[in-house]
Amino acid sequence: MARPRIALFVLEALPNARVVRRLVADYRADIAFVGLSNAERPSSGGLTGQIRRHLARSGTGILPYLAVNFGLPDLLRPLAPLTQAASGSGDAPEATPLKTLCRRMGIPTVTVDDVNGPEVARTLRDTAPDLILTYHFDQILKPETIGLARLGGINGHPGLLPRHRGPVPTIHALAEGPGNFGMTLHRLAAAIDTGAILAQEAVPLPAGTTATRAAVALHAHGRGMLDGLLDTIDRTGSLPEGRTEPVLPYCPFPDRAMLASLRRRGLRLTDGQDLREALSLSARAS
pLDDT at 7 over 80: yes
The identity of residue 43, as a single letter, is S
Q: Which residues of 90-121 are buried (b: 16+ CB within 10 A; e: fewer)?
A: eebbbbbbbbbbbeeeebebbebbebeeeebe
Best CA proximity match to 262, nearest among 192, 206, 218, 212: 212
DSSP H or E run through 185? strand 182-187
Best CA proximity match to 213, nearest among 253, 176, 173: 173
Q: What CATH code is carried by the domain that includes residue 203?
A: 3.40.50.170
Q: What is the pLDDT of residue 239?
A: 97
Domain count, the chain: 1
What are 85-115's pLDDT values in tens digits?
778 777 899 999 999 999 999 999 999 999 9
Give the Cα separation of 16 and 101 in Å (integer).
Answer: 15
- How many CB atoms are closer than 10 A to CB 156? 26
What percent helix, strand, coil does the chain show, rounded to 5?
45, 15, 40
Q: 126 lies in a domain?
A: yes
3-class SS at 14? Answer: coil
Q: 90 lies in a domain?
A: yes
Q: 71 lies in a domain?
A: yes
Q: What percent of the chain has pLDDT over 70?
A: 99
Q: 1 lies in a domain?
A: no
Q: 285 lies in a domain?
A: no
Give the Cα separation of 181 and 162 in Å (integer).
Answer: 13
- Cβ atoms of 197 and 242 within 8 Å: the answer is yes
Q: 147 lies in a domain?
A: yes
Q: 79 lies in a domain?
A: yes
What are 171-197's pLDDT values in tens digits?
999 999 989 999 999 999 999 999 999
Give the Cα separation of 196 and 100 in Å (integer).
Answer: 34
What are 197-244's pLDDT values in tens digits?
999 999 999 999 999 999 999 999 999 999 999 999 999 999 999 999
Q: 14 lies in a domain?
A: yes
Distances (CA, A) of 79 to 63, 86, 137, 261: 23, 11, 23, 37
- Cβ atoms of 121 and 132 within 8 Å: the answer is no
3-class SS at 3? Answer: coil
pLDDT at 1 over 60: no
Task: Please enumerate in sequence order all residues whose Cβ is within 8 A of that of 140, keeping only pairs 6 or more positions apart, or say none.
Answer: 115, 190, 192
Q: What is the pLDDT of residue 102?
A: 98
What are 243-280's pLDDT values in tens digits?
999 999 999 999 999 999 999 999 999 999 999 999 99
Best CA proximity match to 74, nearest among 13, 9, 116, 31: 13
Distances (CA, A) of 51 to 21, 47, 64, 69, 71: 27, 6, 12, 14, 11
Q: Which domain holds residue 257?
A: 6-279
What are 101-156's pLDDT values in tens digits?
999 999 999 999 999 999 999 999 999 999 999 999 999 999 999 999 999 999 99
What are 44-94's pLDDT values in tens digits?
888 889 999 999 999 999 999 999 999 999 998 988 888 887 787 778 999
Helix axes 169-176, 256-264, angle to 10 degrees: 50
**pTM strictly above 0.85:** yes
